[in-house]
Structure 1
């Protein structure tokens, strides 16, 4: 099936939060403590995504299929880290995928 990618909007926060929780619970089963995964709470994630979607320096995209958000990606400036700094590159010109 085809899907569309567009920039995320604040109204997408609940759907992104739902995908975020469901993918963590599926992907990290057996890797992360199950009690932690079971305790992931939708309302808290909605608030997180509402805050994140208001950050102008980060680009948030959503993948939509059959009018439903099925995935997301966030990218922006590279966060400082000793690994990146060791490259001796201009970090202001580097980007990073923050979430996918």
Structure 2
């Protein structure tokens, strides 16, 4: 598997079930040991697919395909944070199916979101990442993101999971 055999395109409503599979498996892999296991085990692809359909069109979404199968998903939109200057973008989510980690999926999706944010006129891009997610933090740091000092709690499954915010010019 290489980045050369990857197609990144805008998500369609028909992709919701495949995106839900990527999101749920991505969460279960990435957050094992960082979030309550009972919460991760209870995640449902069907419920997530319904949620993807409900939220479709609110942000700019991309999928990564390999051999016709969706193997990754990412989305971006205007920053939701009140303490940042207007005009900044937020990478809301980025997940690759665990079987496709370290194959270029995450980078291709990040690049698509950064290019989309630039086209939309955003001056920079921010994202939130679970503080203990060392793999993701390393990925973002290699991609030019830096922690900006903001930190906030994220409540999930009855536990508080700290997140840190990163920023990068969309280049």
TM-score (norm 2): 0.51
Name the count of aligned residue pairs: 91
Which residue of structure 1 aligns with residue 141 of structure 2? none
Match of 2:62 in 1: 61
Higher-RCO chain (CA-CA 8 Å, sequence separation at least 6) = 1
* SS in structure 1 at match of 2:43: coil
Determine whether 1:25 maps to 2:28: yes
- 3-state SS of 2:18 partner: helix
Q: Aligned partners of 2:33 and 2:80: how far apart in 1?
A: 29
| Pairwise CA distance, 1:18 | 0.4
Cα drift, residue 51 of structure 1: 1.6
Superposition RMSD on alpha carbons, in Å? 1.1
Measure the CA separation in 2 of the matches of 1:5 and 1:70.
10
Counterparts of residues 1-100 of structure 1 (less than 5 Å): 1=2, 2-55=5-58, 58-82=59-83, 84=84, 89=85, 91=86, 93-100=87-94
Gapped runs of 5+ residues in structure 1? none
Structure 2 counterpart SS, 1:30: coil
Whose strand proportion is higher, 1 or 2? Answer: 2
What secondary structure is seen at the aligned counterpart in 2 of 1:29?
coil
Q: Where does structure 2 lack aligned partners over 5 or more consecutive residues?
A: 95-171
Q: Does the residue aligned with 1:11 lie in a helix, a strand or coil? A: helix
TM (normalized to structure 1)? 0.85
CA distance in 1, matches of 2:66, 2:46: 24
